[in-house]
Structure formats: structure tokens, C-alpha cells
Amino acid sequence: MSSGSIAVFSPVNLTPAVREAVAGLGGRVKYIAALDLEHHLHLTSWKNAFPDAEIIAPEGLWEKRQSVPEFKDTPFKHILREANKDRPWSISEEFDKEFNIEYVYGHGSKEIVFLHKPSLTLIEADLLFNLPAREQYSKTGVDATSGIWTKIVKPLLSTSAPAKWQKRFVWYALAKDKKAFGESIQRIDKWEFNRLIPCHGDVIESGAKGVFKTVFEWFL
């Protein structure tokens, strides 16, 4: 961030290599965001390493994690709730300066979507998938398109136009409250973005707005 603070979204395992990368950015982790009810496994290790960091999460995640002994957490600093949907989402002055937030509570996993305004980058977890995950498998020696399950799932979660299977997946599986989901999608569609970082699949380096419109056409 321009302030020198670091915001981490859907944190991965805090390995020595990751610690080194964070240190190279100045090491001042101030915000840790769990993007939905599923992407949260490494919150504890990051919070322990950076105890002053503020956790951003959807409603229900803290309660879900307390049933797992190794996930016993102190209360989260920022919890997004459907009950507060009519208020502007705000984390802090420095955070709000760089990020827009949309809480997609109509999504089955209670998705939080962020827009990094300076770089026109949309950040999300399970809102949109962009398989195959070539980038994520690039250092494993495994072909991202191999395997029977990959061949089955890839057409379902492809963003290639007209993306009819992903449209159906979103409509029938992800959008638990279609009205609320659609309202969130329409608000996100008003944002200006060109790049998209998903948790599942390759980063869309340019043209992300067009991909977004294709996948969510039924809600626009």
C-alpha cells in the first residue's frame, strides 16, 4: 500500500519463502483478509506472526473456526455483516483510500470482493474461476490440464466465451440468494478494473472487465 502497510488476501502457508517476500515489502502486515467462509486455513499462523494485523472476514467465519482446536482466535477486528449492507463498507482511512469492498452475502460462501483502485485489480476467491490453473501448477512439474477430474471440471469453470457452463454453475450453485447476489454483481460491474486475481486459476492480466461481464451476464 502507498502508506507502507501490507494487506494480505486469502493468505497461503507462511513458509520461509513467503516470509522473505513479505520482509522484502517492508514487513509491516496490517491487514489480513479472509475472502470467504472457505479461504481461511492460514489465518492463525499469519496472525501469530503479525499480532498487530487486523483481520477482515465475513460473518460466521469466526464462529466456524472456533469448533476447530487449532483455530481458536481472538475476535476479528472487521466482520462484514448482511445487517450492515446499507452502510458504506469501511476498514480504515488508509485502506479505504486504496480499496473498494463489496460483501456478496448472496454467495453461498459469503464472498468479500476487493478492488485495488490504483492498479484497477479485482481480488476475489470463489466468485469467478479461471481454470486451468497453469500459473499455480507452473513449478510443480504437473500439467495443469492433466487428470480426469481436471478434464471434467475445466469446462465447468472456464471463462472462455460464452462461458455457458460457468454461468450455470454460478446461477445454480453459487448464488444462494439470487436477488442479493445480482445486486452485488451490478455494483461490482460499476467499478473500473482491468485485472483480476482469483484464488482458483490464472490471473487475468488484462481484459478482466469483459470476462466478468461474460460470466455474470445473467445478473447484469
pLDDT at residue 41, rounded to an integer: 87
The average pLDDT across 71-91 equals 90
CA atoms within 13 A on the CB side of 84: 13
Per domain, the residue ranges of the chain are 6-219
120 has pLDDT over 60: yes
Global model pTM greater than 0.85: yes
Which pLDDT score is estimated for 51?
A: 95
Record: fold of 6-219: Metallo-beta-lactamase; Chain A (3.60.15)
Residue 152's pLDDT is 65
Whether the per-residue pLDDT at 146 is higher than 70: the answer is no
Per-residue model confidence (pLDDT) at position 67: 87
Q: Is the pLDDT of residue 138 over 70?
A: no
